[in-house]
Every structure is written in C-alpha cells, then in structure tokens.
Amino acid sequence: MAEKFDSLEEHLEKFVENIRQLGIIVSDFQPSSQAGLNQKLNFMVTGLQDIDKCRQQLHDISVPLEVFEYIDQGRNPQLYTKECLERALAKNEQVKGKIDTMK
C-alpha cells in the first residue's frame, strides 16, 4: 500500500516541478522558447494522466473533509490526527466523569 502512495507522491512532485518550470517559461516568454513551452505542456498532460492512473489505484481511500480545511488554512494536515485524538481523550474523560457521577 505504501508503494502506491510513494508512486503518487513521486508523480505529484514531478508535476509540481513541471508546472514551476512552465511558469518560468511563460513569465519570460520569447518566440524562440515556443518548442520548450510545447514540450512542458505535453509533460503536463502526461503528468496528469500518470496522476489519474494513481487515482484509480487509490479509489478506496477516503480523506475527511476537515483535513482539506486544515490544508486550506495553511496548517499541517498531520495535526488533524493529533487534534482528533486530543478531542477523543477529552470526550473520554468527560464521559468517564459522568459515569463516575452516576455510580
């Protein structure tokens, strides 16, 4: 399973690097750089196809929407798990207190 994620990560890193290079070419476009631009655009299409192939391998993985909210807020998505565990622990303590009160 980890190799599927590694493959996706590798394809995403290549895609991001290609987009970065594409932005450089476009921002300083010269007619002589048209061939390089076309090549980068073709790499971009190929990269999207590779990412789509990875998506098909990972179709059974679900990610909570809150993780995407963390990313949108510029927070580390790994903190989501930590905060979920902290909330569960707090709720557990609260329920334990209620059980002790009922006894």
Average pLDDT over residues 72-99: 90
User: Which pLDDT value is given to residue 91?
Assistant: 93
- pLDDT above 90 as % of the chain: 41
The answer to whether the pTM exceeds 0.85 is no
Decide: 73 and 80 in contact? Cβ < 8 Å. no
CA-based max dimension of the chain: 82
| Whether pLDDT at 24 is above 70 | yes
| Whether pLDDT at 1 is above 80 | no
- At 29, the pLDDT band (50, 70, 90 cuts) reads confident
